[in-house]
Amino acid sequence: MKNICVFCGSSTGNDPVYVEKAKVLAREFLANQTTLVYGGGSIGIMGILAEEIRHRNGYVIGVIPKFLYDLEVGYDGVNEMIIVDSMHERKQKMAEISDGFLALPGGFGTLEEMAEILTWVQLKLIHKPVGILNISGFFDPLLELFDHMVDTGFLKKSNREILIVGDDPVRILQDLKAAPAFTSNKWHEKT
C-alpha cells in the first residue's frame, strides 16, 4: 500500500491531542515510506499533517478544487498539487490514486468524504480499505450511530465491518496496510 488518502479537518480542534496524534501519524507515514494523499489545504489538521511529512522529505499529493484552493490557501509545499473543478471530482481523483483511506477528526467535509468512500466500498465500486483514527473517542458517537443502523436493520453487519477503527496512529496504519487485498468480492462476504 503506497498511497493512503487522509480525510481530516481544516481546523485543529480545541484539544492539542488532535495535533499531537496527527504528527505521530505523519512520522508513521514517513517510517513506512507511504505517500499522503489529502485535501490540499494548508490549514488545520490537514495542513499540519502535510507539513510534517514534507518537512521530513516525505511525499505528499494534494487534491483540491480551485475554489477551495483560493479559500483555504492551498499548501504549495506539496510534491504534487492536483487542482480539480469540483468536490466530486476531488473524491474521484483521491479514490483513483489512493490504495486506502483514513479519517481523522474533522467536520462536515471529513464526514461527507468518508461516508461517500464507505458507500463506494459497500457498493463494490472500489475495493480499498477504509479506517478511522478515533483520537480521544472523537468518533464514538458516529460509531454508535453505525451500530444503531445495524440494530435497526438499515445497515448490514458485514457493511458495518468494512470500517477499520483504532485509536493509535501507528497501529491504524498497520491495520490498513494489513487489510486484505480488495481485488475480488470475497472480502465483502465475511460475516
Say if 134 falls within a structural domain.
yes
C-alpha cell read off for 56: 521530513
In this model, does residue 20 exceed pLDDT 50?
Answer: yes
Which domain, by its residues, includes 60? 3-180
- Distance CA(168)–CA(161), nearest Å, equals 19
Say if 188 falls within a structural domain.
no
* pLDDT tens per residue, range 176-190: 999 975 443 333 333
Say if 190 falls within a structural domain.
no
* pLDDT tens per residue, range 93-127: 999 999 999 999 999 999 999 999 999 999 999 99
Say if 97 falls within a structural domain.
yes
- Distance CA(162)–CA(121), nearest Å, equals 8
Say if 100 falls within a structural domain.
yes
Say if 17 falls within a structural domain.
yes
Do the Cβ atoms of 146 and 160 come closer than 8 Å?
yes
Three-state SS string over 103-145 comes to ECCCCHHHHHHHHHHHHHHHCCCCCCCEEEECHHHCCHHHHHH
What's this model's pTM, rounded to 2 decimal places?
0.91
Structural domains in the chain (count): 1
CATH of residue 26? 3.40.50.450
Say if 144 falls within a structural domain.
yes
* pLDDT tens per residue, range 40-53: 999 999 999 999 99
Query: Which of 70 and 85 is assigned the larger pLDDT?
Result: 85
